[in-house]
């Protein structure tokens, strides 16, 4: 591929990636802030986090059914229409989708609100989680509609509304969560958890309002008299096309969320089963189960932070690869896929090694009053690598119109995970580490199957030396350095400062290792924003020739 074409790729694809990357980072920082604050509030702790996450997982499952697959589907269909200059067709797809998914979202909002007691008592076996689900129920319809808007703009390769709306939503969620939880100090943990989740619904309504306003000034305007090649298709036929793609994607998303629901349900039930003969009351068993669920939720919060950066790659890949396939530019599609996989590895591997090296210090720094869970974080850090690669590959497979592949692969992984969870979590000696092990096995299975299909369809492959050995050597070197630095400094300046210094040193060590091992080729550097300016500097420094 010529350098001019590489620059063109960088200007379109990487611009969207970077925009999403920064917004996702900010979103996760805000999420970390309010989770950190409310977890350390008196009376909240691991138990409050358990109630908070247990109710939220059920909400997330119904939210996934009604909306999570929508942005990728609408993005793909709109980008394909615009690739052949069919603005009328793109606008029609948007309007049909908006009506249909608004109805679906409303249905699931009502289902969660009126079914909260049944779910809390019969599935989670913790009745008080119903309060959390009720305050979240109204949010589903607004998220469902917002997802159509985000997919619509993503299909135009305009990531601004997605980035701004999600950042605005999380900012409000952060401020309101802290405010509402503090307002409920002294009340039961489940009441504090419900108050914290009420902020989610309110912030989503504000975010939805922003998207509606943005649409009014930035909607697609078909040329006067322009007719879509698909104009003879009825609304019902177009809806079938939308559903044919959205159902497999949504199914894959549902399975992904089910993984978290399985963790919540198995921990809630299996922990109570494991300690049934320990002489504890039912209330004490419920509290123990929610405390363990809270530890898993804390770890998930940390693990999803680096994954947020990677989500930017998978989100931008869908319209990018769909556009390339529509134009029959298969080499460009393959190039974008390969570069995205490399980028995922370079981002996630050092984060995983860093978590493994500094698990205890990080948890003590962030959750000083509830710092247990180091082993869970270390196991989950390994899973994080495969989750990131699966996200990236899913973006490519959706763009290739192969949404069934990740759905089936993840379904097989979830079956194995469920079996492992029940067996391992029920064992008091293994406890919730069994849930982390189950997730790791699930993600490895999913990764193996998806990579096999990508190799066949796009000739995508992982270069052993460049994409695996060099990044891992660089990351492990960094991990050893930060572990030693933190160990030495913690005895002198305390845990928090020594951990922060270790992280900064780790970033510098990893960056230098990547440069000197020359993981990135000239073409890779040119794909990065400002790469054309950075590369000559690296040549002058004699790092590259």
Residues 48-53: what's their mean pLDDT? 75
pLDDT at 441: 93
Q: Mind giving me the DSSP string for 156-176? A: TT--HHHHHHHHHHHHHHHHH
Contact 396, 460 (CB under 8 A): yes
pLDDT confidence of 9, banded at 50, 70, 90?
very low
Among residues 127, 85, 73, which one has the least CA distance to residue 238?
73
Question: Would you say the pTM of this structure is higher than 0.85?
Answer: no
Contact 196, 181 (CB under 8 A): yes
pLDDT confidence of 120, banded at 50, 70, 90?
confident
Residue predicted with more confidence, 394 or 445: 445
pLDDT at 270: 81
Residues 316-344: what's their mean pLDDT? 70
Among residues 379, 445, 333, which one has the least CA distance to residue 83?
333
Residues 96-111: what's their mean pLDDT? 89
Query: Angle 414-420-424 (CA atoms, 0-180°, nearest 5)?
Result: 145
Contact 58, 119 (CB under 8 A): yes
Contact 348, 354 (CB under 8 A): no
Q: Max Cα separation, the chain?
A: 77
Residues 439-454: what's their mean pLDDT? 90
Backbone angles phi, psi at 50, to 5 degrees: -60, -50
pLDDT at 13: 59
pLDDT at 494 over 60: yes
Residues 404-421: what's their mean pLDDT? 88
Residues 387-397: what's their mean pLDDT? 82
pLDDT at 540 over 90: no
Q: Which range is most confident: 22-26, 151-155, 239-243?
A: 151-155
pLDDT, tens digit, 9 for 90 and up, residues 156-175: 877 788 888 888 888 888 88
Paired tokens of 205: 């309504």
| Least confident interval from 114-123, 171-180, 364-373 | 364-373
pLDDT at 486 over 70: yes
pLDDT at 358 over 90: yes
Query: Angle 450-394-90 (CA atoms, 0-180°, nearest 5)?
Result: 140
Judged by DSSP in three states, 328 sits in: coil
Q: What is the b/e burial string over 495-512, where b = at least 16 CB atoms within 10 angstroms of the residue's CB?
A: beebbebbbebbeebbee
Q: Count how many Cα atoms sit within 13 Å of the Cα of residue 462 in the half-sphere of its side chain.
A: 19
Query: Angle 364-365-369 (CA atoms, 0-180°, nearest 5)?
Result: 55
pLDDT confidence of 126, banded at 50, 70, 90?
confident
Residues 518-531: what's their mean pLDDT? 69
pLDDT confidence of 2, banded at 50, 70, 90?
very low
Residues 415-430: what's their mean pLDDT? 87
Query: Phi-psi bin for 338: left (phi > 0), alpha (psi -120 to 50), beta?
Result: alpha
Beta strands in 195-309 (DSSP E): none
Residues 53-57: what's their mean pLDDT? 74
Residues 370-375: what's their mean pLDDT? 81
pLDDT at 481: 95
CA dist., res. 123 & res. 269, Å (int): 9
CA dist., res. 104 & res. 110, Å (int): 10
Paired tokens of 375: 């082993």
Q: What's the mean pLDDT when you consider all of the chain? A: 80
pLDDT at 316: 60
Q: What is the b/e burial string over 374-388, where b = at least 16 CB atoms within 10 angstroms of the residue's CB?
A: bebbbbbbbbbbbbb
pLDDT at 214: 92
pLDDT at 473: 92
pLDDT at 7 over 60: no
CA dist., res. 315 & res. 23, Å (int): 12
Q: Which range is most confident: 92-96, 250-254, 396-400?
A: 92-96
């Amino acid at each position: 591929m010529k350098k001019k074409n590489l620059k063109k790729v960088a200007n379109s694809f990487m611009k969207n990636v970077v925009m999403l990357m920064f917004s996702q980072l900010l979103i996760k920082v805000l999420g970390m802030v309010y989770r950190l604050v409310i977890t350390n509030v008196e009376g909240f702790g691991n138990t409050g986090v358990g109630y908070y996450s247990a109710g939220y997982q059920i909400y997330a499952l119904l939210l996934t059914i009604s909306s999570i697959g929508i942005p990728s589907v609408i993005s793909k269909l709109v980008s394909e229409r615009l690739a052949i200059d069919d603005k009328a067709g793109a606008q029609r797809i948007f309007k049909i989708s908006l009506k249909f998914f608004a109805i679906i979202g409303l249905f699931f909002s009502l289902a969660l609100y009126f079914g909260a007691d049944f779910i809390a008592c019969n599935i989670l076996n913790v009745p008080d989680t119903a309060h959390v689900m009720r305050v979240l129920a109204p949010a589903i319809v607004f998220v469902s509609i917002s997802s159509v808007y985000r997919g619509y703009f993503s299909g135009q390769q305009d990531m601004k509304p997605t980035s701004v709306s999600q950042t605005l939503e999380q900012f409000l969620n952060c401020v309101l969560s802290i405010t509402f939880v503090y307002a409920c100090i002294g009340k039961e943990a489940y009441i504090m958890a419900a108050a914290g989740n009420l902020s989610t619904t309110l912030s989503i309504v504000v975010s939805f309002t922003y998207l509606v306003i943005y649409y009014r000034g930035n909607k697609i305007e078909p040329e006067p008299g322009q007719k879509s090649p698909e104009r003879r298709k009825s609304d019902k036929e177009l809806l079938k096309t939308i559903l044919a793609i959205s159902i497999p994607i949504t199914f894959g998303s549902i399975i992904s969320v089910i993984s978290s629901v399985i963790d919540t349900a198995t921990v809630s039930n299996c922990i109570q089963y494991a300690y049934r003969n320990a002489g504890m009351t039912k209330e004490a068993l419920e509290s123990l189960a929610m405390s363990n669920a809270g530890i898993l939720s804390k770890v998930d919060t940390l693990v999803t932070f680096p994954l947020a950066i990677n989500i930017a790659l998978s989100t931008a890949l869908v319209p990018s690869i769909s556009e390339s396939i529509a134009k029959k530019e298969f080499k460009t599609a393959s190039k974008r896929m390969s570069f995205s996989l490399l980028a995922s590895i370079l981002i996630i591997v050092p984060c995983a090694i860093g978590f493994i090296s500094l698990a205890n210090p990080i948890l003590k720094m962030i959750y000083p009053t509830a710092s247990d869970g180091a082993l869970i974080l270390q196991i989950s850090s390994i899973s994080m690598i495969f989750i990131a690669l699966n996200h990236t590959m899913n973006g490519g497979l959706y763009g290739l119109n192969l949404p069934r592949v990740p759905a089936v692969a993840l379904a097989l992984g979830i079956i194995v995970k469920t079996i492992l969870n029940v067996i391992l979590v029920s064992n008091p000696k293994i406890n919730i580490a069994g849930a982390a092990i189950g997730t790791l096995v699930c993600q490895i299975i999913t990764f193996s199957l998806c990579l096999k299909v990508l190799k066949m369809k796009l000739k995508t492959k992982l270069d052993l030396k460049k994409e695996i050995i060099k990044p891992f050597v660089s990351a492990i070197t960094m991990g050893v350095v930060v572990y030693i630095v933190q160990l030495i400094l913690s005895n002198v300046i305390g845990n928090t400062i020594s951990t922060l210094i270790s992280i900064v040193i780790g970033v510098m060590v990893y960056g230098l290792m990547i440069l000197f091992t020359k993981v990135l080729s000239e073409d890779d550097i040119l794909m990065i924003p400002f790469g054309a300016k950075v590369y000559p500097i690296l040549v002058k420094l004699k790092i590259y020739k």
